[in-house]
Structure 1
Amino acid sequence: MGQQTSTAQQTNDRARQIVVAVSAVVAVVGSFIGSGAAGGTQIQNASNGALAADATLIAPGGSAFSIWSVIYLGLMAYAVWQFLPAQKTAPRHRLLGYPATASLLLNAAWILSIQFDLLWLSVPIIIALLAVLARIFVLMLHNKPLNTLDAVITDGTMGLYLGWVCVATAANIAAVLVASDFGGFGLNANAWAVVVLAVAAAVGIALAIYGRGRLSPTASLCWGLAWVAAARLNGDLLSTPAAIAAIVGVVVVLAVTVTTRLRASRG
């Protein structure tokens, strides 16, 4: 009986590793389609340009999306890393494998929703992606990395992924509202931009405190906010209030992260 259980677990472990690896390939293929390199429409040009850098006051500047290259490289590294024998039976990777798979498939689904001009569908997809990444973040915090390399590949990649998707979710929702001619309940676009950017910064602060100063979520979230500020100061859609709110958000989130990390180190 014990031998059968062990064999079944080994089969399940191998299946999990294969599923994660295949999902990573699907996500990377989706990224090629989203970049326009495989014949698809670039994300910023799809859905009538709803996600372009000048579509809303929350949209980051175009160069901000270069962070996806780093995230996808990390995801591929993670797919290879979790496939190695040492990670096959590791309890940590048993917990992370299928949530990571869900994030990869949701990523691909989000790209497809934009490519097929289903902008409204992109919102529940990206919210689900954010929820999955938040779950992964919690799991990583409660299950320590196996070693430094595991911390860099797994925690670093998923942290960057989470921080960026926080900003992307805010920008995505704003794009859908603008495309739907949302009236703003009496508030003008600048006021809404400041409110949304403040919420994004508050999420960054919460991640910093809960994560005891984890650097990767802060790095990507602040990267996104910084590019929002750059686009509002130098792009085609200018807004001083939105730029100031984004800059303040970067400063506050960085300060809280560093302070929390130092306190955790001392503790």
Structure 2
Amino acid sequence: MTEAVHPRSVIPADRIRQVVVLVSLVLALAGAAVGSGAFGGTPIQNASDGALSADATPIAPAVPAFSIWSVIYLGLAACAVWQALPGRAADPRQRVLGYPVAASLLLNAAWILSVQAGLLALSVVVIAALLAVLAFAFAVCVRTRGKGWVEAVLVDGVIGLYLGWVCVATAANISAVLVAAGFTGWGVPADLWAVVVVGVAGAVGVALAMAGRGRIAPSLSLCWGLVWLGVARLNGEPHSVPAATSAFITVAIVILATILCRAAAVTRSRRS
């Protein structure tokens, strides 16, 4: 059951929230620019001695996978501008989502800075917090109803896309930190560890499909990351056919789960 939103009177706190989101966007974009190597910053793939490069671990996606950040940042910018419109100030849904979105922007910038500073352990804490914030925002999107397709794309879609990618990024981040710390897998082959981690990512993807009633955005970005993980393991180092195979199979499972959950949600909606 979704709850509808109703207009309320604007209060000063609403304007403050809108400004906070916009300022957080500016800081996040500045952090992204630094993370790309601009302004003297070190590109993320080269920071921390290359711990997060595409060939650092069997869980690292190929370089083209990270082009999704351009879409996510563009979506976040559009979302931040849209929520700052006068008509959105007193929207109950934005009152709940505003600060989580701002927090996600600031945490993203903090993650970039922690990696560039070589603080890999801290980067795991930051990305875990980012994942938690996005999971909360996604839950809000699922249990509340927006106003039309524009909000569905700029809010629900962007948050879902962001969440799905961060799920993949979290797995890659944790793996990179463990490898950099000298973790050898307790004697378990690296290929098997990769298959297990990919399986966990797939389980998360299925869980998101179920919780989100078949929402496409989180599955799309999560599968995007897994596809490029598979490509990296087939065409680059470390080469791992088991990791690539499990990634492609997992993508198929997540897509199927999303389709089934979507169909079930549509059927329930028609019946009600």
Post-superposition offset of 1:185: 2.0
2:216 aligned partner, one-letter code? L
Partner in structure 2 of residue 38 of structure 1: 39
Residue in 1 that maps onto 2:183: 182
- Cα deviation, residue 64, structure 1: 0.3
Please give the residue correspondences for 1:47-58 in structure 2 after superposition, counting only pairs within 5 Å. Answer: 47-58=48-59
Structure 2 Cα separation of the partners of residues 147 and 11 of structure 1:
26
Deviations 1:148-206 (A, max 9, x none): 10000001111100000000000000000000011212211111100000000000000
- Alignment pair present for 1:136 and 2:172: no
Amino acid at match of 2:164: G
Rounded Cα–Cα distance in structure 2 between residues aligned with 1:59 and 1:20: 31
Unpaired segments of 5 or more residues in structure 1? 1-5
State the alpha-carbon separation in 2 of the partners of residues 144 and 90 from structure 1.
11
The residue number in structure 1 matching 2:98 is 97
Tell me, in whole angstroms, the C-alpha distance in 2 between the residues paired with 1:17 and 1:44. Answer: 33
- Equivalent residue letter for 2:200: V
Name the CA distance, whole Å, in 2 between partners of 1:100 and 1:109: 14
Residue-pair matches, total: 261
Give me the whole-angstrom Cα distance separating, in 2, the residues matched to 1:143 and 1:88: 17
**Alignment correspondent of 2:148:** 147
Aligned to 1:237: 238
For 1:235 and 1:37, how far apart are their aligned partners in 2?
27
- TM-score by length of structure 1 reads 0.96
* Moved segments of 4+, more than 6 Å: none
Superposition deviation, residue 239 in structure 1: 0.1
Provide the residue aligned with 2:61 in structure 1. 60
Question: 1:34, 1:228 → 2: CA distance?
Answer: 21
| Paired residues for 1:191-202 under 5 Å | 191-202=192-203
Partner of residue 160, structure 1? 161
Amino acid at match of 1:211: G
SS at match of 2:237: coil
- State how far apart, in whole Å, the 2-side matches of 1:38 and 1:93 are: 33
Alignment-derived partner of residue 18 in structure 1: 19
State, as a whole percentage, how many aligned pairs show the same letter. Answer: 59
| SS of aligned partner of 1:38 | helix
1:264 aligns to what? 265
* Partner Cα separation in structure 1 for residue 86 and residue 196 of structure 2: 47
User: What secondary structure does 1:146 align onto?
Assistant: coil
Shift of 1:39: 1.9
With 14-23 and 138-147 compared, the bigger mean Cα shift is at 138-147
Kindly state the Cα deviation for residue 236 of structure 1 after the two structures are TM-superposed.
2.6
The answer on 1:208 being equivalent to 2:206 is no
Letter in 2 for 1:24: L
Looking at structure 2, the residues matched to 203 and 27 of structure 1 have their Cα atoms a distance apart, in angstroms, of 26
CA distance in 2, matches of 1:143, 1:90: 12
* Unaligned segments of structure 2, at least 5 residues: 1-7
Distance in 1 (CA, whole Å) between partners of 2:252 and 2:53 is 25
Looking at structure 2, the residues matched to 85 and 151 of structure 1 have their Cα atoms a distance apart, in angstroms, of 19
